[in-house]
Each structure stands twice: as C-alpha cells, then as structure tokens.
Amino acid sequence: MTREKANEALVQAMRKHGATAISKAAKLLLDAYRTKVPAATDGVALHDEEEAYRVQDAVFAALWAGSRPAAWKVGGPSDKVTPTAAPIPPENLYHSPASVAGARMHMIGVECEVAFRLAKDLPPRSRPYSERSVAAAVGEVLVAIELCDTRLANWKKASGPWMLADFQNSSGLVLGSGTKDWQKIDFLQQEAEFKIGRRLVKVKGVHSFGNPFRLLPWLTKHCMQRGLGLHAGDVITTGSWTGLEIARPGDEVTARFSGIGEATVRIL
C-alpha cells in the first residue's frame, strides 16, 4: 500500500471511530519500532480485525514509505476460522543460510513453514481470482523459517486484534530451497523436521489448513479489498507446522521438508 493510500485509510478510520484507538495504536507501534522499547498497550483497545489492518497500513506506510510488501504471512488455527495476514517488507526477507542478531530481538521466535513464490502477477480487479488462476500464478514452493518478535510489552496477554496490528509477531522470513513441482506434493502426508540448537521436532501432515495452498486465494482476495495486487516474485508464507519455538543466541535453526528443501538461520 502506498503512503498516500495508507494515510487516507487512517483518516477514514479516524473519522469513523474518532481519533482514538487506531491513531494511538499506530503511534505506540511506531515508537516501539524506533526506540526498540516494547509498547505498553493496556490503555488502548482495538476492537476487531479491520481496525488491526488499519493500524498495519499506517505503520507499514510510515516505516517503509514508498515500498510495497515483498512477502506476506497468512494463516490461522484451522480452516474453520477466517485467516489473518500481515505484510513483510523487503528488508525483512533473508536467504538461507542466513544469520540474524538475537540481541536485537525481544522474543527470538522461530517457526517452520512452507512458502509459495509467485511466477506471475495477480493485479487488483473487482472479480475474485479462482483457485485455478491463483495456482497457475505459483512458480514454486519453498521451505521457510519465520522469525518472530514482538513490539508489545505484554504480548502473551495481548488481544487478537493487537497481535494482528503488530504484524502477527512477524520479524523476518528466511527463504530456503524448494521445488517447482509443488502440485505433486501430498501435504497431508508431508514430513518435516525442525531443529533448534540441539532440539529436534518431527511432524507429518499437521498443517492447520491441510493443504497450505488453500490460504492463497483468501490472501489474494484480502489484498484486492485493500487495493493491492500480488506480483511475480512475491512470497507467501503459510504458517507454522510445529508451533512457535524459542531460540537462543548461538543456536543454528534448520527446517527441512522431505522432497521440498531446507532452510537454515544462525542466531548470533
């Protein structure tokens, strides 16, 4: 979203709700990003996901003016609920093997994921894209490690809208190897290993949506409703297979999906 569109969205939201929760929440998060001090949010209530997305828009436009998302995170606890999404700026995209400074993070969270990279544009339009059209735009599936951090002082007790406003704890995305033959993958039988230092987690077919591709048509619609398109080269990561794991400085973290690829990041 351009800075102009984000500012317009913020003004419209402020007119609707008064210059209260949305503008205050955006300022708290911007201050937390800039000062590296987590925000105390107890006195500001966000009431729903739409308010959270308004805050996302305002914060993204302020921090990464003139940039568009290079990637998106999308997911949810099950296919019985509406997913949520958050944009990832270009500067938070890494390539395996990567190294990140744990000292700059308040919570060194890591998640084992698969991500889809687009080979074709999906520009905004009034008519939703079909699953077939979205699938035809996918070029490959990649193994990814999401880096999770928080800008919220009391993040463990934060409301759903506040977590969403804070980009769902997104801090970065490490992209590993993958395959273009992604439509042949049986995600219900897919095996994955996630190693965090000396800890090893093994799972099989545990993605909350069964086939994570099912999240992409929803994300496409979500972006269209916000006046955004998706572009060739954009990456969509689709949620953890093993839950949130906490890493420590010195850990090497490796995600490996059999038949797909692997990704590695070292926490400094």
228 within domain boundaries: yes
pLDDT tens per residue, range 199-219:
999 999 999 999 999 999 999
48 within domain boundaries: no
174 within domain boundaries: yes
36 within domain boundaries: no
* Residue in the block written with tokens 């990456």: 235
96 within domain boundaries: yes
Q: What does the block give as tokens for 22?
A: 């949305």
Contact 174/99 with Cβ under 8 angstroms? no
Can you tell me the distance from the alpha carbon of 196 to that of 217, in angstroms, rounded to the nearest whole number? Answer: 32
- The CATH number assigned to the domain holding 180 equals 3.90.850.10
Contact 188/194 with Cβ under 8 angstroms? no
42 within domain boundaries: no
Q: Count up the domains in the chain and report the number.
A: 1
pLDDT tens per residue across all 268 residues of the chain: 555 665 565 556 545 544 588 999 999 999 999 999 999 998 899 999 999 999 999 999 999 999 999 999 999 999 999 999 999 999 999 999 999 999 889 999 999 999 999 999 999 999 999 999 999 999 999 999 999 999 999 999 999 999 999 999 999 999 999 999 999 999 999 999 999 999 999 999 999 999 999 999 999 999 999 899 999 999 999 999 999 999 999 999 999 999 999 999 999 9
Q: Structural domain of residue 73, as residue ranges? A: 67-267
pTM over 0.85: yes
User: Which stretches does DSSP call E strand in 49-161?
Assistant: 71-75, 84-88, 93-95, 98-100, 109-118, 138-148
194 within domain boundaries: yes
pLDDT at 43: 87
